[in-house]
Amino acid sequence: MIDVDFSLVNWSRAQFALTAMYHWIFVPLTLGLSFLCAFFETIYIKTGNEQWKSITRFWMTLFGINFAIGVATGIILEFQFGTNWSNYSWMVGDIFGAPLAIEGIFAFFLEATFFAVMFFGWDRVSKGFHCFSTWMVAIGSNLSAVWILVANGWMQNPVGMAFNPETVRFEMENFAAVIFNPVAVYKFTHTSSSGFLFASLFVLTISSWYLLKGRHIEMAKKSIIVASVFGLISSVFVAFTGDEAAFEVAQQQPMKLAAMEGLYKGEKGAGLVAMGILNSAKKPGDDQDAFLFEVKIPELLSLLANRKPGSFVPGVDDLVYGNKDENVMGVNAMMKKGQLALADLASYKKAKKEKNDVGAAEALTRFDVNKDYLGYGYLSTPEEAVPSVPIVFNAFHIMVVLGSLFPVIFAAFLFYALKGTLTEKRWLLPIGLISGLLGFLAQQSGWVVAEVGRQPWAIQGLMPVKVATTNLSTTSVQVTFFMFVAVFTLLLIAEISIMLKQISIGPEGH
Amino acid sequence: MLEASGRVYAFYRDGFRRMTLGKTLWKIILLKLVVMFAVLKLFFFPNYLNTNFLTDEQRADHVMEQITRQADRNN
């Protein structure tokens, strides 16, 4: 066993998760609302209709509130890297430095510059330049997200780097490989388009409230039409990129895919679980059924994972214990290689200390053979490589079910809005009213799938979270955890109350 | 050049002056930044390696020590 207090690791994880989930309330709204504001303003420029200006200014105000409350909350994650995750932070510094620096430059120059024009520039710069600035804020916000998601994609699929034992760092060898890492590409496209979808649902929620209250009816209807079109297009894009992201998960993180589907025993022609209740007593390697009840769509999981019906999809048991027939190396075999890599790294360290250059070079040559399995050398049991299947399975299915529901909601709103009978559909408006909340649930579920699904890894296959953490006292992490709970709750109350006040005032109060 | 700078300055100055809701939002942003940098960062989130080690070499040695500890236990 490694000399780390597991409750410390879990408190550090909980603190990071809390901050990331809080941060992720604001980010998707910023990504999507910025584009919606750009659409509204473009329509205003094209039509010259002052009502579109009023609509633009109203949603821009809500965008501004969200931006102001959310801004810089991501920096807290960076604080935590340096304090709670110092081993990890040191080792990835060379990889993350470039993307995060680029993010800072983009955020500063594109967002900060044009943000001022967007809010201060009404009637002070030309209409065209104002609209251009709004588009630049939208594009800049989304480009900022590229870099942080590139960093996250690298953690899920570490490419374009080499481990340098001299500096004890993963060092960038191929910047293009890091940027165009397929996991990062689909992570960005899936995440940003889901932000567009969430923001469209947010517009639907507030507009539905106005329609239910019989206030600002024209503004609400117009907003709904634009948001429904954007949401509908985004839904298709989310589904497409989600499928591609799942394919990449199957290639790079098959254990995560097995957990997402509750698949313990690998199958040829595996079906996708449409709905099901997991057997919570099920453990890897035992003979219990994985489900108490399940409905599967035949062959779909094989198609999703390998683009080939009838192909083999490994389950948790295959990945943990290996499957020779299907050429799947088990975690138990990888652990042996990882332990060799770790022993050679320790020999290298010892030889360097003794100034034995020949011994160090020999140790390094041996280390290179098994270095790709380094992280497995830290695992105590093969089963430690399995994430929480119930959490990942349920989060994945919540996300998929909601993701399938949203285009139906958008289509219904668009249809009745264009038909001019939306205000008569009293059954539909409450659905619109809660749709933002459902969007929030889908957003958070997506991140739970991505992050809980890759446990126990901080860096896939190379560094488990228990090695990434700093050996601090658990109490200090607990104290800051509860401080964050308090600070975040206060900020959230501030955001909600300011936003509710502004919504209650309506479009004339920008 | 000076005239352009003056216009940009006036643009920002007037923009800040005319803010209504924006004033409240700026207060929240400033308060948040003070809490984050003057309290959280300073007292609760020091950079562990920068605080405890003087050089990059020492930091690298420490991390190497941390990540190879398990090797002894595996043997």
Q: CB–CB of B64 and A168 under 8 A?
A: yes
Residues within 8 A of A (CB atoms), B 14-33 only: 14-16, 18, 21-22, 24-26, 28-29, 32-33
Q: Retrieve residue A182's tokens.
A: 């397929």
Identify which of B25, B35, B47 has the shortest CB distance to residue A68: B25
A480 touches chain B (CB under 8 A): yes
* A42 and A84 both lie in a single domain: yes
Closest residue on chain B to A505 (Cα): B21
- Say yes or no for a CB contact (<8 Å) between A65 and B21: yes
Residues of B in contact with A2 (CB under 8 A): 69-70, 73
Pair (A313, A458) in one structural domain: no
Give the residue numbers spanning the domain of B37.
1-44
CA angle A42-A43-A48, nearest 5°? 105
Residues from chain B contacting residue A64 (CB–CB below 8 Å): 21-22, 25
Q: Are residues A171 and A316 in the same domain?
A: no
Q: Which two tokens stand for residue B69?
A: 């500890």
Give the domain-ending residue among A321, A339, A356: A321
- Check whether residue B1 and residue B35 sit in a common domain: yes
Q: What are phi and psi of B49, to 5 degrees?
A: -75, -40
What's the structural domain count of chain B? 2
**pLDDT-based confidence at residue A495 (cuts at 50, 70, 90):** confident
B54 shares its domain with B71: yes
Q: Which residue has the higher pLDDT, B18 or A129?
A: A129
* Same-domain status, B7 and B22: yes
pLDDT at residue B9 in the model: 87
Other C-beta atoms closer than 10 Å to the C-beta of A295 total 11
Nearest CA to CA, how far is B58 from chain A (Å)?
10
Q: Which of A92, A133, A342, A370 to mutate to test the interface with B (most CBs of B within 10 A)?
A: A342
Closest CA of chain A from B10, distance in Å: 11
Q: What is the pLDDT of residues A100-141, one digit of tens each?
A: 777 777 776 776 789 889 999 998 899 999 999 999 999 988
**3-class SS string, A8-65:** HHHHHHHHHHHHHHHHHHHHHHHHHHHHHHHHHHHHHHHHCCHHHHHHHHHHHHHHHH
pLDDT tens by residue, A45-76? 999 999 999 999 999 999 999 988 887 788 88
pLDDT for A3 beyond 50: no
Chain A: residue nearest B16 by CA? A120
A340 at interface of B, judged by CB pairs closer than 8 A: no
Instruction: Please check whether residue A135 is in contact with residue A144, taking contact to mean a CB–CB distance below 8 angstroms.
Output: no
Burial class, A441, CB count within 10 angstroms (exposed 0-12 / middle 13-18 / buried 19+): middle
Q: Does B4 touch chain A (CB under 8 A)?
A: no
- Give A228-280 pLDDT, tens digit per residue: 999 999 999 999 999 999 999 999 999 999 999 999 999 999 999 999 999 98
Indicate whether B39 and B50 sit together in one domain. no
Task: Kindly state whether residues B31 and B50 are assigned to the same domain.
Answer: no
What single string gives the DSSP state of each residue in A247-311?
A: HHHHHH-HHHHHHHHT--S-EETPPEEEEEEE-TT--TTS-S-SEEEEEEETTHHHHHHHSSTT-
pLDDT in tens, A346-366: 999 999 999 999 999 999 999
CB of A507 closer than 8 Å to CB of A57? yes
Q: Using the beta-carbon criterion (under 8 Å), do B47 and A82 form an inter-chain contact?
A: yes
Tell whether A61 lies on the interface with B, counting CB pairs under 8 A.
yes
A427 and A487 in one domain? yes
Which are the contacts of B70, defined by CB distance < 8 A and separation ≥ 6?
A: A2, A342, A377, A378, A467
Q: H/E element holding A97?
A: helix A86-106
Euclidean distance between CA atoms A290 and A263, whole angstroms: 7
Task: Tell me the nearest-neighbour CA distance from B2 into chain A, angstroms.
Answer: 19
Q: Tell me which DSSP letter residue A421 carries.
A: -
Does pLDDT of A412 surpass 50? Answer: yes
| Residue of chain A whose Cα is closest to the Cα of B68 | A346
Residue A259 lies in a domain: no
Q: Give yes or no: residues A280 and A377 share one domain.
A: no
How many separate domains does chain A show? 3
Which residues does chain A have within 8 Å of residue B69's beta carbon, measured at their own beta carbons?
2-3
Nearest to A377 among B15, B35, B74 (CB): B74
Q: What is the distance between the alpha carbons of residues A232 and B72, in angstroms, rounded to a whole number?
A: 56
Q: In this structure, are B56 and B72 located in the same domain?
A: yes
Residue ending a domain, among A296, A321, A346, is A321
Global pTM value = 0.92
Residues of chain A with Cβ-Cβ distance to B22 below 8 Å are 64, 119
3-state percent helix, strand, coil for chain B, nearest multiple of 5: 85, 0, 15
Tokens linked to B14: 């007037």
Are residues B16 and B37 both part of a single domain?
yes
* Residue A476 distance to chain B (closest CA, Å): 8
Q: Hey, is the C-beta of B43 within 8 angstroms of any chain A C-beta?
A: no
Structure confidence at residue A2 (pLDDT): 43
The amino acid at residue A16 is F
Average model confidence (pLDDT) across chain A: 92
Q: Are residues B33 and B4 in the same domain?
A: yes
Asked whether residue B3 carries a pLDDT value surpassing 70, the answer given is yes
Closest by CA to A375, choosing from A283, A454, A257, is: A454
| Nearest residue of A to residue B71, measured between CA atoms | A343
Shared-domain flag, residues B37 and B58: no
Provide, as residue numbers in chain A, all residues whose Cβ is less than 8 Å from the Cβ of B41: 79
Q: C-alpha angle A105/A103/A190, rounded to 5°? A: 145
ipTM of the predicted structure? 0.86
Mark which of A300, A321, A342 sits at the end of a domain. Answer: A321
Tokens, residue A55: 């609509």
Q: Band of the pLDDT at A97, cuts 50, 70, 90?
A: confident
What is the gyration radius of the CA atoms in chain B, in angstroms? 24
Residue in B13, B24, B68 to test binding to A, most A beta-carbons within 10 Å: B68
Parallel, antiparallel, or unpaired: how do β-strands A169-172 and A161-164 relate?
antiparallel
Task: Report yes or no: A454 and A156 within 8 Å, Cβ to Cβ.
Answer: yes
Q: Are residues A238 and A100 in the same domain?
A: yes
User: Rounded distance, CA A394 to CA A408, Å?
Assistant: 22
Q: What is the pLDDT of residue B17?
A: 86
Per-residue pLDDT, A68: 86
Looking at the domain assignment, is residue A82 inside a domain? Answer: yes
Answer yes or no: do B65 and B32 share one domain.
Answer: no
Q: What residue numbers bound the domain in which A287 lies? A: 264-321
Mutate to test the interface with B, among A76, A81, A120 (most CBs of B within 10 A): A120
Residues B39 and B4 grouped into a single domain: yes
Answer yes or no: is A291 within a domain.
yes
Residue A510 in domain = no
Structural domain includes residue A414: yes
**From the CB of residue A53, how many other CB atoms can be counted at a distance below 10 Å?**
19
- Of the partner residues B11, B16, B71, the one whose CB lies closest to the CB of residue A342: B71
Looking at the partner chain, which of A90, A119, A345 has a beta carbon nearest the beta carbon of B71?
Answer: A345
Q: In A152-197, where do the E strands start and end?
A: 161-164, 169-172
Do A107 and A174 sit in the same domain of this protein? yes
Residues A44 and A146 in one domain: yes
CA angle, residues A280, A321, A254, in degrees to nearest 5: 70
Contacts of A79 by beta carbon, 8 Å cutoff, 6+ apart = B36, B40, B41, B45
Looking at the structure, do residues A307 and A347 belong to the same domain, yes or no? no
Q: Which residue has the higher pLDDT, A116 or B2?
A: A116
Residues A369 and A303: beta-carbon distance below 8 Å? no
The closest of A290, A287, A384, A368 to A331, measured between CA atoms, is A384
Tell me, yes or no, if A196 comes closer than 8 A to chain B by beta carbon.
Answer: no
Q: Answer yes or no: do B24 and B51 share one domain.
A: no
- Report strand pairing: A312-313 vs A267-268: antiparallel
**Pick among A1, A83, A479 to test the B interface (most B CBs inside 10 A):** A83
Distance CA A471, CA B66 (A): 9
